[in-house]
Structure 1
Amino acid sequence: MEKKFMIKHPTLEDAQAITDLVALCDIEDIGEPDITLSDVLDMWNSIPIETDAWIVLSATNEIIGYGFVEVTGANRMDTCVFVHPQFKNQGIGSLLIKIVEERAHVLANGKDGKQKLMNQISFTNTAARKLIEDRGYQFSRLYERMKIELEEQPNQHHLPEGITLRPFQPDHDEETLFTLYDETFRDAWGYTKKDFSTWISQKKGDGYDPSLWFIVWKDAKPVGFLMSRMQEDGLFIDLLGVKREYRKHGIGKALLLHTFGIAHQRNQKTILLYVDSDSLTNANRLYQQVGMRPHSQTAVYMKEL
């Protein structure tokens, strides 16, 4: 292994090559890329790549492997590992997972409570799933990538009287948005408490466009929100949440169709998002109501450190 490959931490100059590598893996697994350069840069806003990310270089200095570990909460870390399709079955994936786990143990040292390491893998990548199952990971969850191609300007969904949808106001609504997120996602699987400054700085990373963030109000009380961003492959809906007592009032549907309308005005027909297939709020049913369809699936595996 040491004679053929070299492992090191990436630098910002490697971001495009890593994007290209992950895109190759996506094409093999689901038939098309599911990553953009802004995705990689956004991720790197959340992790110190000089300690918590790794690349594998071939003898010709080509990036053929990539992995990272991210602390996503008080008791949770997340990781993904990618290997160039032409360099599979050479031990690269196993080596990266071993390095990731060693670093995760260091990060977990001194923390209270059981630490969980979550590994996300394309559902169709049976070899990768077997690899981590053999290392003691257990299947935990399935996420669906949903998609719609807009053919015409969508009709808007009218909200009940007294409820209004307004654009996010930069430098004014940030804490309101965070409070909404914290309350509406608290009962979601995998939720971890985050502090405001970290959360908002990550959301204002590469691709930040406040004109694609919206808040729904009941009089002067915020009750729902949607955050999205424009990517190279379409408009990506990052977060959608509605307070429990205001669900089933059409607020989520109104936020989605309003965002679809903005995308259509900007000549962007492709809308994308990820949803937990076992969502407590049956969010995937809402997305199907507005015309979105499952496109691919990601398996989430868990291991207690």
Structure 2
Amino acid sequence: MTNPAMNDYKSRALTEADAPAATDLVNTCYIAETGAPVVTKEEVLGEWRTPGFHLATDSLGVLTPDDRLIGMLEMWNLGEPPVRPLLFARVHPDYCSQGIGSSMIEWAEDWSQTAVENAPDGARVTLRSSTNVVNEAAAQLLANSNFSVVRHFYRMVVELDAPPPEPVWPEGLMVETFVDTEANHRTMYAVMEEAFADHWGHLPITFDKWMHWTETDPQYDPSLWFWVRNGDEIAAGELCRFKMTEDPGLGWIDDLAVRRPYRKRGLGQALLLHAFGELYRRGQRKVGLGVDASSLTGATRLYEKVGMEVVRQIVLYEKELRPGAELSTQTIDD
């Protein structure tokens, strides 16, 4: 890193021994933004052990002379094909405005040149990062580095003051609780990949990565996974968790996916109400999820219809590294 301000600090790749310090750093940054910690050491290690991610080459830590971790950067490029590196960086609030963030972006752009070289011929390659809309300093830093806003995402939450309405299932369709077997995981993965191919910006991920994230998630509970069956065919799936690290009183819907042939029949609403009801029976009085604010499938309108409201906004930034053909989903046919 060439920024003279970095002469006061040390930098190196992160190691698993840094997990406690990295967890503290991430949580300190989020507490400054939202008032609550968001991650545990076990979750950090689970992410770092994702197939295809290598701490030795894909991370950077910035430390004070006495070895206190004050900045960290992770570079992710796990989509298939790998044409969209994602920059995840955090700087301790006490060390902002000292050139650390801009130096990490410089490092990330150097790292991303390998992604450009490895991308398919003729494919557009972009570097992305995201920030909470309240983090004006991060927004300015990205803008100064020639990133542009490309999308907004919402966190939406519903308050459950009473048991939610019972879902009404389309004729012939039946909801089932997921049974934890490898064959069922492969089926659920296929349903999710097929449905989310209609999600803006989607690039496929491999089954081994998807399974790793499931197996290392301390909140994974197959009794909160559901799918909807039409005879021998799976029409839709829903992956929930009882609580969030950030808010143990918040139930969460990680993914809700309805395959194209079964859309516009009320199945998405039925699955939402089913999740609300199950989480309510288990004691939760709030349920949340994340959604593309301009969802290509109209998901935002559905969530509003069942009483969910926006409580947080995330801004996605992008910088083009190489022009070419866009390989991720941008639009869908009706």
Question: 1:199-247 deviations in whole A, cap 9, x for unaligned?
Answer: 2232332222212211111222111111123432233322111012312
Structure 1 residues 226 and 20, CA, compared in 2 at 3 Å: closer, same or farther?
A: same
What's the counterpart of residue 184 of structure 1?
A: 195
Which consecutive aligned stretches of 4+ in structure 1 deviate over 6 angstroms post-superposition?
none
1:217 aligns with 2:211: no
CA distance in structure 2 between the partners assigned to 1:19 and 1:152 by the alignment = 36
What's the counterpart of residue 104 of structure 1?
A: 112
Q: State the Cα distance separating 1:288 from its structure 2 match.
A: 2.0
CA distance in structure 1 between the partners assigned to 2:158 and 2:66 by the alignment = 40
What is the root-mean-square deviation in Å for CA atoms of aligned residues?
2.1
Q: State the Cα distance separating 1:87 from its structure 2 match.
A: 0.9
CA distance in structure 2 between the partners assigned to 1:19 and 1:257 by the alignment = 34
Normalised to the residue count of structure 2, the TM-score between the two structures is: 0.84
Amino acid at match of 2:101: G
Structure 1 residues 31 and 282, CA, compared in 2 at 3 Å: closer, same or farther?
A: farther
CA distance in structure 1 between the partners assigned to 2:55 and 2:88 by the alignment = 14
Of residues 227-236 and 31-40 in structure 1, the stretch that sits farther from structure 2 once superposed is 31-40
Q: Does structure 2 retain, via aligned residues, the 8 Å contact 1:146–1:294?
A: yes
What's the counterpart of residue 149 of structure 2?
A: 139
Q: Does structure 1 retain, via aligned residues, the 8 Å contact 2:85–2:115?
A: no
Aligned residue pairs: how many?
305
Amino acid at match of 1:177: M
Tell me the secondary structure at the aligned position of residue 239 of structure 1: strand
What's the counterpart of residue 327 of structure 2?
A: none
What's the counterpart of residue 62 of structure 2?
A: 56
Tell me the secondary structure at the aligned position of residue 117 of structure 1: strand
List gaps (5 residues or longer) in structure 2.
322-334
Counterparts of 1:151-162 in structure 2, within 5 Å, are: 151-162=161-172
What's the counterpart of residue 260 of structure 2?
A: 244
Normalised to the residue count of structure 1, the TM-score between the two structures is: 0.91
Q: Does structure 2 retain, via aligned residues, the 8 Å contact 1:45–1:202?
A: no
Q: Give the alignment partner of residue 278 of structure 1, picking from 294, 302, 324.
A: 294
What's the counterpart of residue 79 of structure 1?
A: 87
Q: State the Cα distance separating 1:67 from its structure 2 match.
A: 1.4
Amino acid at match of 1:52: D
Question: 1:139-178 deviations in whole A, cap 9, x for unaligned?
Answer: 1100111223433332321202211111112213122212
CA distance in structure 2 between the partners assigned to 1:15 and 1:146 by the alignment = 30
What's the counterpart of residue 197 of structure 1?
A: 208
Q: Does structure 2 retain, via aligned residues, the 8 Å contact 1:15–1:37?
A: yes
Q: Which structure shows the bigger proportion of residues in strand conformation?
A: 1
Tell me the secondary structure at the aligned position of residue 237 of structure 2: strand
Identity of aligned residues (%): 34
Q: State the Cα distance separating 1:37 from its structure 2 match.
A: 4.3
Q: State the Cα distance separating 1:16 from its structure 2 match.
A: 3.5
Amino acid at match of 1:143: F
CA distance in structure 1 between the partners assigned to 2:281 and 2:56 by the alignment = 41
Q: Does structure 1 retain, via aligned residues, the 8 Å contact 2:10–2:62?
A: yes
Q: Does structure 2 retain, via aligned residues, the 8 Å contact 1:215–1:225?
A: yes
Amino acid at match of 1:78: L
What's the counterpart of residue 331 of structure 2?
A: none
CA distance in structure 1 between the partners assigned to 2:36 and 2:318 by the alignment = 26
Tell me the secondary structure at the aligned position of residue 259 of structure 1: helix
Tell me the secondary structure at the aligned position of residue 271 of structure 2: helix
List gaps (5 residues or longer) in structure 1.
none
Amino acid at match of 1:18: A
Tell me the secondary structure at the aligned position of residue 113 of structure 2: helix
What's the counterpart of residue 330 of structure 2?
A: none
